[in-house]
Amino acid sequence: MELKIIEKRVKERQRELLEIKKFNDTEIQLINEELQKDYQKLIFFESRENDEAARLNIKDLRSKVIEQQDLVKKYLQIRYARLVNKSAPKIPVLKNALAAFFVGGTICVIGQIILNVIVINGVPNKEATTITLMVMVFISALLTGMGIYDEIGRFGGAGSIIPITGFANSIVSPALEYKREGYVYGVGAKVFTIAGPVLLYGSLMSVIIGLVFFIIK
């Protein structure tokens, strides 16, 4: 009997909710309380029902109540999100872009200088590139250890994350961080927490691309 009443109420509410914008906060709160009450009753009936088919019916009705609850929730969320967006601080895009360009550019220039110096000293180009990468990774690791690289990152953003120095930073910083938890469960287990996704999907992509090349050839 009570189940019928709830069913009717859910149907009526479905129509009401179409015009949710007309309700004020107190009315919305009342709707929410009514939904809570219906939900509670339904789960109670469901727990008492022995007949499988009837049970599924109640469950169906309960999922409708959940949908209605979500609808009210969504409405309130969107309304608040609008307010938040209005008061969101402006992101200094130009300043950030210039900083990234300057920092990223500087890192690349330093890399190029090192490469040129090595090549001038008679090392073949391919080996020279590898040595340059090693030097850059070393510099980045050293700066991370000295607590300087995170300051560069704060200023340079993507400019200091994208070059290989950023990758080195992402491995050295967790290594430093988790040293206190020991070398096995600390450093050993957590050293790739930031770089892990790059390593995994980087390797995966290289395998896929390798396969593609293999097939094309």
Q: Which is nearer to another protein, 14 or 77 (CB)?
A: 77
Interface residues for another protein in 52-91 (CB under 8 A)?
Answer: 73-74, 76-78, 80-81, 83-84, 87-91
| Torsion on CA atoms 169, 174, 176, 178, rounded to nearest 10 | 180
Nearer to another protein, 94 or 120 (CB): 94
d(CA 83, CA 93): 22
Give dist(CA 9, CA 38) in Å, integer. 9
Rg (C-alpha) for the chain, rounded Å, is: 30
Q: Is the dihedral of CA 154, 157, 160, 161 positive or negative?
A: positive
The interface region with another protein, picked from 7-15, 117-125, 126-134, 142-150 by CB under 8 A, is: 142-150
In 3D, which of 143, 152, 141, 118 has the Cα closest to residue 191? 141
Q: Which of 49, 59, 157, 189 binds another protein (CB under 8 A)?
A: 157
Rule CB under 8 A: is residue 28 a binding residue for another protein?
Answer: no
Judged by the rule CB under 8 A, the positions of this chain that interact with another protein are 25, 73-74, 76-78, 80-81, 83-84, 87-92, 96, 144-145, 147, 149-158, 160-161, 166, 169-170, 172-174, 176-178, 180, 193-194
